[in-house]
Structure 1
Amino acid sequence: MRIALIGYGKMGKEIEQIARNRGHEIGLIIDQDNQKDLNADQLKDIDVAIEFTNPESAYGNYQICFEAKVPVVSGTTGWLDKMDLVKEKCNAGDGFFYASNFSLGVNLFFELNKKLTKLMAPFEEYNADMEEIHHIHKLDSPSGTAITLAEGIIDNHPKKDKWIEATSMKEDELSILAKRHGAVPGTHSVTWHSEVDEITIQHLAYSRKGFALGAVLAAEFMPKKEGFFGMKDLLNL
């Protein structure tokens, strides 16, 4: 399989190594210095594009790939205000795979979070808050993973209507505390607390390898597919 890597930072390089080890060819690498090379001619022999860039350029990158009929796997976060537009393209026949986090462990954590929220919902004495910690180069805050966790709580708890990146005492708001320290790959915690005790679930990433492998597995899943897909489709969750 011929893969285009759009974004060649630390994650892109990790993805490249895993893809090559799994027998794939990297047919195109797009970085800051050669963004003009992302065009239909360069994409004509590409089976799938893996996109890890930034919120400002992501949507434009998708459009170029869609026009070239190349399915996209993206882990870029912070662009979700354009999600409906991307889904419209998928309904028209393009292929797109999005995950706020490609780690197998994180996606199991998402399901655990939803299950715990359903269990806690009847007990009014408990309230939830969240914390996420990432490396200092993380561009978006809170992380896409934290937002996915927050949405899992909001969708499954009758009194939570929205999340806020601040400490809130309002019953309908879910507080997210986002921290940026050193080279932390990613730590996410959800805590349910009452006056007498608390329950915390937490996921700690030790390296980027788990994210990169998930992205390559998603790329292997996507060739010739049309529609919008995510980790639930890949992992049959």
Structure 2
Amino acid sequence: MKILLIGYGKMGKTIEQTALAKGHQIIGKIDHSNTQELRKYTAANTDVAIEFTHPESAFSNISYCLTQGIPVVSGSTGWLDKYEQAEALCAENKGAFFYASNFSVGVNLFFHFNEYIASKMKDYKEYSVAIREVHHLQKVDKPSGTGITTAEGILSSYKDLSGWVSDNPEEKTKLNIASEREPDVVGTHIVTYSSEVDKIELGHIAHTRAGFAEGAVMAAAWLQGRQGVYGMKDMLNL
């Protein structure tokens, strides 16, 4: 595949290494220093774009790709208030869009088990539920996209909770997501069910970014020849 990388930070560099090792070609690397060069890339010279940028630029990058007929895989977080607009753009342009808050196969199995456990635990009111996520100091958004996806999986069963809240454990009507930022942490997510007598935990701890990069490149290859909006559940058949 001819891959355009939009975003060339830690994640972009890891994706580059993974893609090259698999025999793919990196035809361009866009970051904050050369954003204007994005306009050079179209469906005529690009098989797929893999986009990992900041919340303020993600939707613009995705929109450009969709209007140019470039299939786009995005892992950017913090922009999902415009997700429905991206879906509409994809449909309007008969494009291909793959979004995941986390591309790790292990994390997506964690999401799957999280939803199942929540569907059972909702009947045991003596247990309170909370989420804790830990990332590196450069992580801009709080809570993480993975933390939000984890919360949504729980909220689909916990109808008595009105949504999620960030770093406010005193808000009892919402699911609290505690966010911590520490040096050299790739990503940790832990769901805890606590009662007066015991505690149940489900967690995922990433040791390297390689799992995220593998999943993103896998998604880029899977998206070839498809049309529509997809996610990890589609690719992994979960």
Query: Aligned partners of 2:216 and 2:84: how far apart in 1?
Result: 22
Unmatched tracts of structure 2, length 5 or more: none
- Indicate conservation of the 8 Å contact 2:66/2:90, yes or no: no
Match of 2:166 in 1: 165
Q: Following TM superposition, where does structure 1 have runs of at least 4 consecutive aligned residues deviating by more than 6 angstroms? A: none
Query: Aligned partners of 2:13 and 2:30: how far apart in 1?
Result: 12
SS of the residue 2:131 aligns to = strand
SS of the residue 2:161 aligns to = coil
Match of 1:34 in 2: 34
Match of 1:185 in 2: 186
- Alpha-carbon shift at residue 166 of structure 1 (Å): 2.1
Q: Do residues 19 (structure 1) and 19 (structure 2) align?
A: yes
Query: Aligned partners of 2:124 and 2:225: how far apart in 1?
Result: 47
Match of 1:10 in 2: 10
Match of 1:176 in 2: 177
SS of the residue 2:69 aligns to = coil
Match of 2:87 in 1: 87
Match of 1:154 in 2: 155
Over residues 151-209 of structure 1, what are the superposed CA-to-partner deviations in whole Å (9 max), with x where a residue is unaligned? 00111123222111123344431111100000100000000011111101110000000
Residue correspondence of structure 1 range 8-157 to structure 2 within 5 A = 8-39=8-39, 41-43=40-42, 44-92=44-92, 93-157=94-158
Q: Normalising to structure 1: TM-score of the pair?
A: 0.97
Query: Aligned partners of 1:204 and 1:168: how far apart in 2?
Result: 23
Q: Give the letter for the 1:88 counterpart.
A: A
- Indicate conservation of the 8 Å contact 1:71/1:224, yes or no: no
Query: Aligned partners of 1:42 and 1:195: how far apart in 2?
Result: 58
SS of the residue 1:32 aligns to = coil
Query: Aligned partners of 1:148 and 1:199: how far apart in 2?
Result: 20
- Indicate conservation of the 8 Å contact 1:132/1:142, yes or no: yes
SS of the residue 1:49 aligns to = strand
Unmatched tracts of structure 1, length 5 or more: none
Q: Do residues 209 (structure 1) and 210 (structure 2) align?
A: yes
- Alpha-carbon shift at residue 27 of structure 1 (Å): 1.1
- Indicate conservation of the 8 Å contact 2:3/2:28, yes or no: yes
Identity among equivalent pairs (%) = 48
- Indicate conservation of the 8 Å contact 2:189/2:205, yes or no: yes
Query: Aligned partners of 2:220 and 2:29: how far apart in 1?
Result: 15
Q: Give the letter for the 1:178 counterpart.
A: S
- Alpha-carbon shift at residue 64 of structure 1 (Å): 1.3
Query: Aligned partners of 1:42 and 1:172: how far apart in 2?
Result: 47
SS of the residue 1:207 aligns to = coil
Q: Give the letter for the 2:123 counterpart.
A: P
Query: Aligned partners of 2:167 and 2:70: how far apart in 1?
Result: 39
Q: Give the letter for the 1:195 counterpart.
A: E
RMSD: 1.1
Over residues 122-141 of structure 1, what are the superposed CA-to-partner deviations in whole Å (9 max), with x where a residue is unaligned? 11111101100000000100
